[in-house]
């Protein structure tokens, strides 16, 4: 089944392997490249390739490195490219399919973790997002320009201007160096519009003189 052929939540698995990784944000229709080298996650990719090709990306929320806490909401991605290096690493690309809430974590015998996902709150992720009521591109780009300037960063402004709005929002959510808590706020935003508005707030928080508020 290709990335675009999931049409209802019953097409998605009842049990999902998860990869807790701080700062790595996957969103619906966004692509995330990953370099897999830990043996337990190599095993996870092997099992996914021979099964549904789906794994869940979840923010690691503190706790021991070997078994960190899991955020309440993650995003499932389908392995849409895969290669193996000479030293045994896997280079994969995940394409975001749909977000999920974690109902519970399962007791497993695999070296990697599995959860029971609740897809229902995010069924709309399976369909193209409505971008007609998004904040204007000028508003988003204005916030980005101020953020880039204050942080002494660089940006490809022609690509910023040319990208579809959903692509631009997802690229900034994934690529900007926000904290784990801030990235979790972005993934939990219920709609693309809410995600874009949260993104603009986060961009403005770093700019002196803006009253963007603070994240709790």
For range 177-200, the mean pLDDT = 96
Give pLDDT, residue 201: 97
Express each pLDDT in 64-109 by its tens digit.
888 999 999 999 999 999 999 999 999 999 999 999 999 999 999 9
**Which backbone phi and psi does 151 adopt, to 5 degrees?**
-95, 5
211, pLDDT greater than 60: no
Q: Which of 61-70, 95-104, 161-170, 175-184 has the lowest mean pLDDT?
A: 61-70
For range 157-169, the mean pLDDT = 95
Give percent of the chain above pLDDT 70: 94
For range 183-210, the mean pLDDT = 90
215, pLDDT greater than 80: no
Strand pairing report for 73-84 and 54-58: antiparallel
- HEC assignment per residue over the chain: CCCCCCCCHHHCCCCEEEEECCCCCCCCCCEEEEEECCHHHHHHHHHHHCCCCEEEEECECCCCCCCCCECCEEEEEEEEEEEECCCCCEEEEEEEEEEEEEEEECCCCCCCEEEEEECHHHHHHHCCCCCCCCCCHHHHHHHHHHHHHHCCCCCCHHHHHHCCHHHHHHHHHHHCCCCHHHHHHHHHCCCHHHHHHHHHHHHHHCCCCCCCCCCC
Q: 136-145: long-range contacts at Cβ-Cβ below 8 A with a sequence spacing of 24 or more?
A: 137/161, 137/165, 137/168, 139/200, 140/165, 140/168, 140/169, 140/172, 140/196, 140/199, 140/200, 143/200, 143/203, 143/204, 143/207, 144/172, 144/203
Give pLDDT, residue 17: 99
For range 51-57, the mean pLDDT = 97
Instruction: Return the half-sphere exposure (C-beta side, CA atoms, 13 A cut-off) of residue 120.
Output: 3
212, pLDDT greater than 80: no
Give pLDDT, residue 132: 76
Here the tokens at position 180 are: 């784990």
For range 123-152, the mean pLDDT = 91
Confidence of residue 3 (pLDDT cuts 50, 70, 90): low
Give pLDDT, residue 199: 98
Give pLDDT, residue 1: 53
13, pLDDT greater than 70: yes
Give pLDDT, residue 68: 95
């Amino acid at each position: 089944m290709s990335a675009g052929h999931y049409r209802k939540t019953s097409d998605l698995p009842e049990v999902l392997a998860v990869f807790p990784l701080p700062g790595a944000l996957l969103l619906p229709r966004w692509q995330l490249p990953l370099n897999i080298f830990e043996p337990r996650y190599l095993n996870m990719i092997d099992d996914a390739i021979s099964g549904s090709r789906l794994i869940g990306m979840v923010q690691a929320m503190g706790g021991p490195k070997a078994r960190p806490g899991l955020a309440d909401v993650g995003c499932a991605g389908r392995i849409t490219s895969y290669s193996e290096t000479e030293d045994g690493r896997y280079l994969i690309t995940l394409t975001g399919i749909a977000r999920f809430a974690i109902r519970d974590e399962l007791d497993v015998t695999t070296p990697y973790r599995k959860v029971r996902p609740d897809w229902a709150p995010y069924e709309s992720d399976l369909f193209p997002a409505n971008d007609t009521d998004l904040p204007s591109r000028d508003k988003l780009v204005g916030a980005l320009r101020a953020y880039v300037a204050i942080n002494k960063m660089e940006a490809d402004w022609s690509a910023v201007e040319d990208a579809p709005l959903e692509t631009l929002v997802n690229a900034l959510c994934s690529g900007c160096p926000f904290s784990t808590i801030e990235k979790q706020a972005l993934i939990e935003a219920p709609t693309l519009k809410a995600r874009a508005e949260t993104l603009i707030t986060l961009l403005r928080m770093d700019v002196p003189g803006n009253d963007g508020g603070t994240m709790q």
